[in-house]
Structures are given as structure tokens and as C-alpha cells.
Structure 1
Amino acid sequence: MQIRGIHHIAIICSDYERSKRFYTEVLGFKIEREVYRLERKSYKLDLSLNGLYCIELFSFPNPPKRVSMPESCGLRHIAFQVENIEAAISELNAKNVIAEAVRVDEFTGKKFTFFADPDNLPIEFYER
């Protein structure tokens, strides 16, 4: 087996339009394809970043809530690399998204912060 990289991250949201706006207008992802799957009563939105397919955003009727944060079983968070953490936080703040205080990775010395998507899913910005 030769894994070549991560293909995509799949996210189920509670309010499709709100999450669609967040990932496209706030974080700047580009819509590659959007389909409505009638048999599942579900939207599937394919999103890319810098030309790379990255996120599949799904809507489903009445998805169960996440049990706890952030230490529940399953995906803990997704992380995106940024050039300048302070500039990225300023852009988030300008779009009414509040990030946690900046921390420094004890092993790499790099700065990072966390914020939440509309469903309170944890997202990390990690300075390059």
C-alpha cells in the first residue's frame, strides 16, 4: 500500500446554508460541485483550496449531535496551514469569527490557534 496523501475531509453540518457560507465566504474555499441527493434528502458540496480538492460538506436530516468537545472519540479537529497567524486571526475577527488565544507548539515552536465552524467543530490554524 502506498498512501499518497489525504484526499478529503468529510463534514456533516446541521444547517447547510450557514455552513456553506462559512466555508466559502469566511474561510475562502471554492465550490467545485454541489449536488442534491434526493434519495438521501442530502446535499453534498465539494470544496477546494488553492486548487486542491479538500472538503466534502454534507447535510442530512436530523444528524446526531457531537457528544463532547474536543476530547470525544473520532476526528478531533482539522488544521489548515497559514503564513501569518495574527493576520489570519484578524481576517477571522473581521468576519465575526473568534479564535482562541495563540499558543506555541512545544515541539516545533510554531504558533497555532483554534476556532469553531457553525456546528462548533474545532478548526486549527497552524503557522507555517
Structure 2
Amino acid sequence: MEKRVINPWTWQNERNYVQAVEVSNVQSTLYVSGQTAISADGISSDADMETQLTLALKSLEHVITEAGFECSNIVRLNIYTTATNELWPHFPIFQQWIVKHGTQQALTLLEVKSLFETLKVELEATVVK
């Protein structure tokens, strides 16, 4: 697999994403459903945004590695949140996770009216190998 990052500007670097990712010679693609702060028993968290973001990242990492892929090969990541203003103060948690895995992904952040039950943040990814 070969990846090429397309960044016509530099400002996105401080936000830990890229403008586009071209992928060629792909062996396999993994489409990961939105990962949230739901326990292994299927119970939705009613914790604060920081806790839910941390749990969603752990869940995302778990699904990706369980499938035999690597987080460094995430090429597309969508973040859905019910409150962007609550998410921003905790965005460094996300950025540290991205740096830890050396991920360079296209990214979209969307504020939505609601998520399932009591959830505040959901992460949806496309991963290649």
C-alpha cells in the first residue's frame, strides 16, 4: 500500500489532519462504524465529553487492531458531536492520539442534533492496508 498526502497549505498541520490522502496498491479496506463510549455490555455512557472522547478513541483503536489493521493507516476520519463547544477544550486528547499513532488522515467534524441515547461524540473511520 502506498499513501500520498496532499496539503496545499500548512495551517491544517496544527489541527492534526491533512486535506487529502491518495491511496494506491491497497490490499484491503476497513470501514469502521461510528465508535462511541458504549461499554462491552452495550450500555451508553452518560459521562462528560472528555470521558466519552477517551472511550470512543479506545473503542476505535480496539476495532481497528482486532481487524488486523493499524491506526496509522486511517485515511478518513469523521467526528460527530452533539456539542462542538464541549469537544474543543478536549481536542488535545484527540490530537495526542493522532500523534501517538502517526496518523495522517482526511478529517471532517460535524455537529449533529443528537447521537444514540446519551452519547456526545462518535468516530467513524476508513482504514487501509
Answer 1 or 2: which has greater helix percent. Answer: 2
Question: TM-score, normalised to structure 1's length?
Answer: 0.29
Answer 1 or 2: which has greater strand percent. Answer: 1
Greater RCO (CA < 8 Å, at least 6 residues apart): 2
Question: TM-score, normalised to structure 2's length?
Answer: 0.29
The structure whose Rg is larger is 1
